[in-house]
Every structure is written in C-alpha cells, then in structure tokens.
Amino acid sequence: MSAIKASIDIARRPEEVFSYVTDPSHLPEWQESAVSAHSVDDAPLAVGSKFQTIRRMGRREIPMTMEVTELDPPRRWHFRGIDGPIRGDVTGTIEPLGDGERSRMTFSLDFETHGMGKAIVPLVVRPQMRKELPRNEERLKALLEA
C-alpha cells in the first residue's frame, strides 16, 4: 500500500515549524493518537536518536520506539519504527513560502507490519490515520499560528 500524505501551509518560519514538529515531547499536543512521547536518552535529537511513543489505535494503547534516520534542519526529517507489530515510517519536509515567513509542511506516513500488525494496519490503523492526519495538521497549524 502507498504512504498516506498530506500538506499544509503554516504562517511560521520553517525553522520554527521544524523545531516544533521534530520535538517528540510535542507530539501529544498536535497528534490525536499520541498519548505520550519522550526521548530514550534525553540527548538532543540527532540521527540515531530514539524516542518512545504510546499511541491509541482503536481501543488499544500501543508503545513503539522510533529512531531518527534523517535530520536536515529546517527542511527534512525521517523517523522509523524499530519495534512492535506496527512500525511507523514518517517523513516530513518543510518548504519556505514567499518571503520565508511561511512554510509548507508535507507529511508522509507508511507502516511496516509484523505478526498481528499485518491484520490490524489495513483494518484499523490506516483508516484511522487517513482521518487523523488532516486533523493533526490543522491542530498543528492552529498551535503554531496562535
């Protein structure tokens, strides 16, 4: 299956958008399925860093560990899940708009599945994320533009 993608324009500089969206501690503020998120090692985010999230999928809360595989401030990031039956693969890009005071963020989400994840992703996770992603981006926009 193909990745779930969405873009949104935000009236904030790319550096500000990048800093906010790549900080795992902010995930529960703008992603409705994120229950909690924190760095594994409390070090600044860098390629190779890991962070843990707990996501609500349907009625369950699923813990997962993500690894930073690419970090190119303020343009691009890539996080990939490294454990559990459902492993997210998240890529984000930020383009400056106009005079650089606005940004276009594009978010791409895909999944690698193992075990029971093979049944859960097409039936529960993908439909939930297709609905949630545009709402998450609108919430992010509202938070950053406030």
pLDDT tens digits along 74-101: 999 999 999 988 899 999 999 999 999 9
Task: Provide DSSP, 79-131.
Answer: EEE-SSSEEEEEEEEEEEETTTTEEEEEEEEEEEE-TTHHHHIIIIIHHHHHH
Interval 20-64: pLDDT, tens: 999 999 999 999 999 999 999 888 899 999 999 999 987 889 899
pLDDT given for residue 60 in this prediction: 85
Is residue 27 within 8 Å of residue 39, measured between CB atoms?
Answer: no
pTM, 2 dp = 0.92
Residue 134's alpha-carbon distances to 11, 28, 68, 105, in angstroms, are: 17, 15, 23, 12
**Rg from Cα positions in the chain:** 15
Neighbours of 118 (CB within 10 A): 12
pLDDT given for residue 1 in this prediction: 66
Name the residue type at position 20: Y
Using alpha carbons, select from 19, 23, 14, 26 the residue that is nearest to residue 104: 14
Nearest-angstrom CA–CA distance, 106 and 134: 11
Cα dihedral: 98, 101, 102, 103 (round 10) = 100
Interval 107-134: pLDDT, tens: 999 999 888 888 888 888 899 999 999 9
